Amino acid sequence: MKQNFQIESDRLLAVEGRDEYNFFDSILKHIGIKDVQLVDIGGKDKFKTEFPALYNLPGFPRVRFLGFIRDAEDKKAYAAFSSICSILKKYSLPKPEAINEPIDGKNNDGQAIRISIFIMPNNLDRGMLEDLCLESVSEKPVFGCVNQYVECCLSTLPESEESTNNSKAKVQTYLAVQKDIANSLGTGAQKGYWDFEHDCFDNIKRFLQILFD
């Protein structure tokens, strides 16, 4: 989180990094939700270290809606959910009973607050935002070429040099063949390269609508 960050809205959405910031800024605009302030936490491992700074900002007591979005990565979604819940418990904030189920409660000033947590890609499996974006374009003719290209590249590399994240490699490959090349997932979202109408995004859109609408 930037050192000069200030809370300017009573509706906050905390996300992992700049890519996620740009992606969710784009999808919020796509579904017509306004006045949500995005918080770039600075990495999936920084929620614990950065949340205290967010919590202690002068504007935090006026926050009425607070969402967290994290990747499951290489573990089941519940591990990431539990990690965020432990942060909320430490600061005596309402803790959702389950992933993607908002809880209405009170902050430490006795004011109403709604909190919800979404774990990418689907609140259950291992994975990340990249997997959802790839699924949204998986039926495009070029996608078969993307798979073949990444598989071919990996087959030529020694094991020590192979990508540890095939999803990120495929995202970069797909974006590299667009007419106006985007150098990141978030920039791709801003340019409209992910299909926000695909049903793979239904759960995340519903999460945002229930939390902020």
Q: Is residue 26 part of a domain?
A: yes
The pLDDT of residue 164: 67
38 plus 70 within the same structural domain: yes
Domain that holds residue 102: 11-127+199-212
pLDDT confidence tier of residue 161, bands split at 50, 70 and 90: low
Q: Is residue 208 part of a domain?
A: yes
Q: 0.85 cut: is pTM over it?
A: yes
CATH code where residue 101 lies: 3.40.50
List, in order, residues 6 or more apart from 74 with CB less than 8 Å away. Answer: 126
Angle between the 18-30 and 202-212 helix axes, to the nearest 10 degrees? Answer: 80
**Model confidence at 70, in pLDDT bands (50, 70, 90)?**
very high
Is 1 contained in some domain?
no
Joined together, the tokens standing for residue 194 give 């992910």
Question: 50 and 64, same structural domain?
Answer: yes
**Where are any strands of DSSP class E within the chain?**
11-15, 37-40, 65-71, 103-106, 112-120
134 burial via Cβ count (<10 Å: 0-12, 13-18, 19+): buried
- Do 69 and 50 reside in the same domain of the chain? yes
Into how many domains does the chain fold? Answer: 2
120 and 166 in a single domain? The answer is no
Q: Is residue 171 part of a domain?
A: yes
Is 177 a domain residue?
yes
Which whole-number Å values give the CA distances from 37 to 24, 42, 46, 102, in the listed order?
Answer: 10, 15, 18, 18
Residues 92 and 145 in one domain: no
Token code pair at residue 96: 């959702």
Residues 60 and 117 in one domain: yes
Q: 17-37: per-residue pLDDT in tens?
A: 999 999 999 999 999 999 999
pLDDT at 114: 98
* Domain contains 78: yes
Residue 5 lies in a domain: no
- 107 and 22 in a common domain: yes
**154 and 54 share one domain:** no
Query: Are 120 and 20 found together in one domain?
Result: yes
Q: Is 46 in the same domain as 112?
A: yes
| Pair 180, 87 in one domain | no
* Same domain? 100 vs 122: yes
- For range 172-193, the mean pLDDT: 96
Between residues 174 and 158, the one the model is more confident about: 174
* Residue 118 maps to a domain: yes
